[in-house]
Structure 1
Amino acid sequence: MEKYPGYPRKPFYYETDKMGIIHHSNYIRWFEEARVDVLTFLGYPFEKIEEMGIMVPVLGVSCTYKEMVYFGDEIIIQPYVSKYTGTRLNFEYQISKNDKLVTTGTSQHCFMSYETNRLVQLKKSQPELHQLFETYFDLTKNETGK
C-alpha cells in the first residue's frame, strides 16, 4: 500500500480575516477536505462508504495553531490515522508551509449504520474496509512522532 502524499491547498481570499490571515474556523474544514481526499486515494471515497450503509460522524475535533497561514501561502495537509479500533477511527493532521509545521489537529470518528443508527464493527460487516484501515494505520502510525 502506498502512503498518501498529502493534500496540497492554496487558501482562498474569502477564508481570511481583515489582516489577510486565514480565519481559525477554516482549519477544521481543511481537515475534512484532507480526510475525504485520503479516503478517495485509498479507493474508498465517502460515497462508496455511504453506499455500504455506513456513516462516519465526527465525535470531536481539535486544532493547535503554531504559526499563521496567509492568503497566497501554499500548504500541505497530511492526515494520519492515529487510532483504529474497528468501530472508531481517529486522525491527526499536520499542516506544513514551506516544509515547516504550522498547525496540528485531531478528529475522532465512529462507524454507524444508516439503517439502525448503531455502531458498526467493520471487521464483521465490512472486512475489506476493516483491513484497509488496519493496514493504513500500520503504515502511518509512526509518522506523527508519538
Structure 2
Amino acid sequence: MTNYLGYQRKPHYYETDQMGIVHHSNYIRWFEEARADLLDFMDLPYHTIEEAGIIIPVLDVSCQYKGMVHYGDQLTIQVYVEQYTGTRFQFRYEIINEQTKKLVTTGTSSHCFLDQVRQRPLSLKRSYPEFHARFIEQFGEK
C-alpha cells in the first residue's frame, strides 16, 4: 500500500481579500477538497460511493487558524483519519505552507454513512464489505 502524501493546493485570487490574505471561509472547502482527494487516492471516489446508494453527510466541522495564508502560497493539506467505526468516521486536517514549512491551519470533520433512500445510518462492514476493506487497508481499525 502506498502512503497518501497530502493534497497540494495554491489559493486562487478570488479566495483572498484586498490584502491578498485567504478569507477564513475557504478553509472548510479546502478540507472537503482534500477529503475527496484522499478518497480518490483510495480508489473509492465520492461518485462510486454515491452510485452504491451511500451518502456521507458532515456531522460537524472545526477549524483553528494558526497563521495567515496568502495568494501565491503553496500548501499541502494532510488528511488523517482519527476514528473509523464502519458507520462513522472523523478526519483531522493540517495545512502546511510549503515555503515556510509552518503549520498554518488545523481542523476536524466528522461524518457518517447513510443509506441514500432510507436516510438511515448504515454499516459499511455489514452492507458494503468491499468499501469497508478499503478503509481498513488505508487507516486500520480505529
> TM-score by structure 1 length?
0.92
Contact kept? 1:81, 1:136, Cα under 8 Å: no
**Matches for 1:114-129 after TM superposition, within 5 Å:** 114-129=116-131
CA deviation after TM superposition for structure 1 residue 44, in Å? 0.4
Unaligned regions of 5+ residues in structure 2, if any?
Answer: none
Which among 127, 133, 136 is matched to residue 134 of structure 1? 136
Q: Structure 1 segments of 4 or more deviating over 2 A?
A: none
Structure 2 distance, partners of 1:47, 1:64, is 30
The 5 Å alignment of 1:50-89 reads 50-89=50-89
Instruction: Identify the range of structure 1 (124-133 vs 62-71) with the bigger mean alpha-carbon deviation.
Output: 124-133
Equivalent-residue separation in structure 1 for 2:90 and 2:41 (angstroms): 18
How many residues are treated as equivalent by the alignment?
A: 140
Q: 2: CA distance between counterparts of 1:6 and 1:109? A: 20
Structure 1 unaligned regions, length at least 5:
142-146
Cα deviations by residue, 1:101-142 (Å, 9 ceiling, x for unpaired):
111000000000011100011111001111211222239x7x
Distance 2:31 2:3 in 1: 17
Q: Counterpart of 2:130 in 1: which secondary structure?
A: helix
- Give 1:105's aligned amino acid: G
- Which amino acid in the other structure matches residue 47 of structure 2? E
- Residue in structure 2 matched with residue 106 of structure 1 by the alignment: 108
Percent identity of paired positions between Structure 1 and Structure 2:
59
Rounded Cα–Cα distance in structure 2 between residues aligned with 1:11 and 1:67:
14
- Counterpart code for 1:38: L
2:25 alignment partner in structure 1? 25
